[in-house]
Amino acid sequence: MELLRIVEARIGRWLAYADYCVNAAEQLARCQPFWNFVGMVLGFVCLIALGGVIVKIIRDRRKGTAGYRRAAS
């Protein structure tokens, strides 16, 4: 039970900090780590999405090539 209170307090402080930085001017030095973290997360999500698109394109091209080979045989 104590662990739950500690986690809840920590999350509450982080949410208060995020709320302050979202509603404050972005140029505040105090909020720079928050915006760096947000940018890092968004960049990571974009890389994962791009990787998924590349894998899908490669998979579709392989299926298409296999289909052409079967049709040619």
State pLDDT tens for residues 20-34. 998 987 678 888 999
The letter for the amino acid at 5 is: R
Specify the pTM: 0.68
Distance in angstroms (rounded) separating the CA atoms of residues 41 and 53 = 18
What percent of the chain is modeled with pLDDT above 90?
Answer: 59
Q: Which residues of 9-30 are buried (b: 16+ CB within 10 A; e: fewer)?
A: eeeeeeeeeeeebeeeeeeeee
Classify residue 64 as left (phi > 0), alpha (psi -120 to 50) or beta. alpha
Average pLDDT over residues 35-52: 96
Average pLDDT over residues 25-45: 89
Residue from 33, 34, 40, 1 nearest 19 by CA? 34
Q: Which residue has the higher pLDDT, 26 or 10?
A: 10
